[in-house]
């Protein structure tokens, strides 16, 4: 009987360890990125449907898109990334005249890399650095007027009772309407809570863009959402965002599916 228990332990414990290593960790649905990478030789897809609503100065705007992130591990601490808002459909309506304009097409593509630089240890958070180059590859209505890029630091702390904290400062270099690049800030802070092994929720404040008015102004949101693990490698999620100023869509909503291979 003792021999059987030892054999069972030798089989089960490695399987549990592999399951923990294989558990999916996504960069969605919150704005703050995960500090972790997918692992050497692993491929992960994070795709979704998103809807934005805004009304200002007699103009109603509705935008639908399919944000998608592809991640591939080229090492234990490195991954390659391809990100895009995918297919976009935008409708603008003048409430006074009733004139409606609809545009459809594809968003620009961003290529990047993530480096997991440190695991959490004591007061030191788990940290990852993300660098991206934004390419002006989209359809005419949604194409940026030149190339851009960003550099971000993701830091995460895990606390008792499955509470967590994440922060993400960064810088972005964006083209204006004339194709001239300017520097803006990026910031996000998120508090998460795990309720079961499958379910977690979060509340987040995010600044997708911290900029002067002449550079497009600041885009800020308050976000709430949840993610649920169907299996160790499949996640579904949703999030709702409220715009905090007139430059940000009044409401945004997303629902997503992520899979790790």
| Tens-digit pLDDT string for the chain (261 aa) | 444 443 333 333 333 334 445 899 999 999 999 999 999 999 999 999 999 999 998 999 999 999 999 999 999 999 999 999 999 999 999 988 989 999 999 999 999 999 999 999 999 999 999 999 999 999 999 999 999 999 999 999 999 999 999 999 999 999 887 778 899 999 999 999 999 999 999 999 999 999 988 888 999 999 999 999 999 999 999 999 999 999 999 999 999 999 999
In CATH, what number is assigned to the domain containing residue 98? 2.40.160.40
Distances (CA, A) of 222 to 109, 122, 260: 26, 29, 28
| Confidence at residue 5, expressed as pLDDT on a 0 to 100 scale | 41
| Confidence at residue 215, expressed as pLDDT on a 0 to 100 scale | 85
10 Å CB burial of residue 216 (0-12, 13-18, 19+) is middle
Instruction: Tell me how far apart the alpha carbons of residues 248 and 241 are, in angstroms, rounded to a whole number.
Output: 10
| Confidence at residue 21, expressed as pLDDT on a 0 to 100 scale | 57
DSSP string covering 107-159: --EEEEEEEEEE--BTTBPEEEEEEEEEE--S-GGG--SS-EEEEEEEEEEE-
Q: What is the pTM of this model?
A: 0.89
For residue 141, what are the domain limits? 2-260
> 49-71 burial, b for 16+ CB within 10 Å, e for fewer?
ebebebeeeeeebbbebbbbbeb
| Confidence at residue 214, expressed as pLDDT on a 0 to 100 scale | 83
Cβ within 8 Å of residue 41, ≥6 positions away: 73
- Contact predicate 137/107, CB 8 Å: no
The number of distinct structural domains making up the chain is 1
| Confidence at residue 216, expressed as pLDDT on a 0 to 100 scale | 85
| Confidence at residue 85, expressed as pLDDT on a 0 to 100 scale | 98
| Confidence at residue 240, expressed as pLDDT on a 0 to 100 scale | 98
93 sits in which H/E element: strand 87-94
């Amino acid at each position: 009987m003792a021999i059987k228990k030892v054999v069972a332990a030798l089989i089960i414990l490695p399987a549990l360890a592999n399951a923990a290593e294989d558990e999916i960790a996504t960069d969605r649905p919150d704005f703050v990125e995960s500090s972790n990478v997918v692992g050497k030789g692993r491929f992960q897809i994070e795709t979704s449907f998103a809807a934005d609503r805004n009304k200002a100065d007699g103009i109603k705007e509705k935008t639908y898109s399919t944000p998608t992130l592809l991640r591939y591990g080229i090492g234990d601490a490195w991954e390659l990334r391809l990100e895009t808002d995918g297919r976009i459909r935008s409708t603008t309506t003048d409430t006074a005249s009733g004139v409606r304009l609809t545009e459809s097409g594809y968003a620009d593509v961003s290529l990047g890399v993530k480096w997991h630089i440190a695991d959490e240890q004591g007061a030191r958070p788990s940290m990852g650095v993300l660098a991206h180059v934004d390419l002006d590859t989209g359809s005419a209505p949604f194409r940026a007027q030149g190339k851009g890029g960003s550099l971000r630091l993701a830091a995460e702390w895990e606390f008792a009772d499955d509470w967590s904290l994440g922060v993400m400062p960064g810088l972005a270099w964006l083209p204006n309407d004339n194709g001239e690049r300017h520097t803006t800030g990026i910031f996000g802070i998120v508090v998460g809570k795990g309720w079961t092994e499958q379910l977690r929720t979060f509340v987040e404040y995010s600044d997708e863009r911290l900029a002067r008015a002449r550079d497009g102004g600041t885009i800020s949101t308050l976000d709430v959402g949840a993610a649920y693990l169907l299996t160790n490698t499949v996640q579904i999620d949703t999030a709702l965002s409220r715009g905090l100023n007139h430059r940000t869509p009044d409401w945004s909503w997303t629902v997503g599916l992520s899979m790790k291979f």
